Amino acid sequence: MSYSFNDRSYISQQLENHIVKVHSIAKNANTKGKYIVFGVGSTQLLSAAVFALSTNLSSRANVVAEAPFYSPYKEQTDYFETARFHFVDNLKNVSDYGSEVIEFVTSPNNPDGNFKKPVFEGSSVQYIYDHAYYWPHFTAIPAPANEDVMIFTLSKLTGHAGSRFGWALVKDKQIYDRMLTYIDIAELGTSRDTQLRALQLFKAMQQGDGKEIFQFAYKTMRDRWEQLSQIISLSTRFTIQEIPPQFCTFFQKVRGPSPAYAWVKCERKEDSNCTEVFSRAKITGRRGSRFGSDERYVRLSLIRGQDDFDLLIHRLTDLVSEEN
Amino acid sequence: MSYSFNDRSYISQQLENHIVKVHSIAKNANTKGKYIVFGVGSTQLLSAAVFALSTNLSSRANVVAEAPFYSPYKEQTDYFETARFHFVDNLKNVSDYGSEVIEFVTSPNNPDGNFKKPVFEGSSVQYIYDHAYYWPHFTAIPAPANEDVMIFTLSKLTGHAGSRFGWALVKDKQIYDRMLTYIDIAELGTSRDTQLRALQLFKAMQQGDGKEIFQFAYKTMRDRWEQLSQIISLSTRFTIQEIPPQFCTFFQKVRGPSPAYAWVKCERKEDSNCTEVFSRAKITGRRGSRFGSDERYVRLSLIRGQDDFDLLIHRLTDLVSEEN
């Protein structure tokens, strides 16, 4: 089995067609006029995009993300730091390092599930839109996303994180070519076994009108969020993020939130380490500092298996009932 | 499907066991006391090893490979160049940049199929042994390889290049941990679908005594090399590398060469671009300069499909017969 397909690319045309179709069903991205790059999860594509966007700039690129943000943006950029780019923790310091900016915009955001807008603007700012969670089961879809560089992942669509399959929709041919160069130099292509698995999943998903997976997953996520919200509403010790109801073009109605994570704040002065508070109640969360945020926050996952979720609800109920 | 297996690693224990077994059958590597890292082909592991070995050095590491060498060593190191390492083209210049050296040692070598020894020695020299071709079908196996960092790939074992699966055998726990960190930060693990495919291939290979694949592939490669050598022996215009017969512990006898590539030299003064000479005869080779070598050389592949090989032999026969 060769490195490449018969058309000499590393990218299955058939799989590409199915990706275009899933976006048209979910109404979450405009694929028209976009090039598609495959990657090892979205993770590899984040790095590929930073390398691609930092080529031929007038000065070293400042890679930024507004807190709270998904930690790999910083961890990966720090790890691969080159003369062409570096991660800047404090957004106020960006101007010290020159005007070139590459901003990660995660929308809906991980950890808090809210839509994000860029912080930086101007001709020397480029964006990497991480749309991992921009699917009808996690958020209302107000309109198809149509940015220059958009990244998606199978992990948050079907849950097959271990398959390590992601894709980028890229408007500019030159950026697309550079991202392909990254994939080529880093790994000589994308596993064809993984592509085959992804293709089977897309085919299964797209049986009938292809909407069933979103309806099922939305119902599950919405139900989980309501259970969790209900418990937290009884608490004065903890609060969670607010996500306003919004019109969704997929469901053709205003719908409430169904995010992948709860972004919990410990409100008591003495609970300055929120992760520890939950840890003592045998609830595992990801600490606020991982997201460039305060330790007063912790992220709880709502996308684990049903047993894990039931346990979370059980222990959270106990924790909140202790307040009285 | 989660990112990791139940033991929280990205690495299938079952697949690891099969890798240990294939090395014991082929007698080509000592796996005892070695840690195993999986990667996207050997390609990803080359980079992971450079990052791992260049951590905490006293000065910037000079990454080197003696020509002729497999071009990704340079291309990848240049592409990912950081403050911690850079590729040095001219081995004579290495001392200008400090004493730390990371040397790629490809044995048998790509392109020429001969065993290689390191060029550099000393306490500040570290090696990455690329043993992609150290299998009984490509070379005699004088003894099991037992170096600190050794890299192998499914691509050159079963031919499944498109699966993108490779592995490293690593002696030092710290280097192993750093390579895992690379995989984690770059891509959050290794595709489980790819691992499953690799496992199926190993299982199929290891039916019976597990030697059949090597016997079959050796016969094929040996036969191809003899056909090609026979034609070149009629030529005064072209020469190919010499590979001495050697005792092989797998076959328990002295055996002749069966390399993956012919490293052809154009001997006529006017044939200074050997690739073009072959190109005019409709034979596609990889140019000498890609290997840090002279354009008077070209690499011809002997590991393509049978149709391609037959065509190569046909056209080469014509080309050589033109000499008279």
Give tens-digit pLDDT for A139-172.
999 999 999 999 999 999 999 999 999 999 999 9
Q: In what helix (H) or strand (E) does residue B218 lie, and over which residues does it extend?
A: helix B212-233
CATH tag, B212-321: 3.90.1150.10
Which among A43, A79, A187 has CB closest to B44?
A187
pLDDT at A52: 98
| The pLDDT of residue B8 | 87
* For residues A72-84, average pLDDT: 97
Q: Which two tokens stand for residue B44?
A: 């990803």
Domain covering A13-205 assigned CATH 3.40.630.10 in the classification: no
B136 cis-preceded (ω within 30 degrees of 0): no
pLDDT exceeds 80 at position A68: yes
Residue range A259-277: mean pLDDT, rounded: 98
pLDDT in tens, A99-110: 999 999 999 999
Q: Determine how many CB atoms are found less than 10 A away from the CB of residue B301.
A: 15
pLDDT for B324 beyond 80: no
The Cβ of residue B273 has, within 10 Å, a number of other Cβ atoms equal to 17
What is the pLDDT averaged over residues A264-276? 98
| Rounded Cα gap, residues A193 and B38, in angstroms | 16
Of all residues in chain B, the one with the smallest CA distance to A46 is B186
Asked if B81's CB is within 8 angstroms of A80's CB, the reply is: no
> Model confidence over B108-128: pLDDT tens digits?
999 999 999 999 999 999 999
Q: Identify from A71, A130, A194 which residue to disrupt to test chain B contact, counting B C-beta atoms within 10 A and taking the largest count.
A: A194
Q: How far is CA B23 from CA A167, A261, B72, B133, B250, in A?
A: 36, 45, 25, 13, 11
- Please tell me the distance from the alpha carbon of residue A38 to that of residue A183, in angstroms, as a whole number: 9
Q: Report the alpha-carbon distance of residue A121 to residue A275 in Å, rounded.
A: 34
Return the closest-CA partner of residue A45 out of A168, A127, A197. Answer: A168
Q: In chain B, where are the structural domains located?
A: 13-205, 212-321
pLDDT above 70 as % of chain B: 100
CA distance, residue A171 to nearest chain B CA (Å):
23
Please give the interface size between A and B, counted as residue pairs whose CB atoms are below 8 Å apart. Answer: 120
SS (H, E, C) A159-196: CCHHHCCEEEEECCHHHHHHHHHHHHHHHCCCCHHHHH
* Residue B96: per-residue pLDDT: 86
Contact assignment for B164 to A186 by CB distance below 8 Å: no
Q: Which residues of B touch A (CB under 8 A)?
A: 1-4, 40-41, 43-44, 47, 51, 72, 75-76, 79-83, 155, 159-165, 182, 185-194, 196-197
Q: What CA–CA distance (Å, rounded) separates B189 from B246?
A: 40
Q: How confident is the model at residue B172 (pLDDT cuts 50, 70, 90)?
A: very high
Tell me which residue has tokens 């020397």: A124
A230-243 pLDDT, tens digit each = 999 999 999 999 99
**pLDDT number for residue B7:** 87
| Structure confidence by residue, pLDDT tens digits, B290-320 | 999 999 999 999 999 999 999 999 999 999 9
User: What is the distance in angstroms between the Cα of B304 and the nearest Cα belonging to chain A?
Assistant: 9
CB-CB: which of B72, B159, B187 is closest to A40?
B187
Give the span between the Cα atoms of A274 and A279, in whole angstroms. 9
Element (H, E) at B48: helix B41-53
Residues of B in contact with A7 (CB under 8 A): none
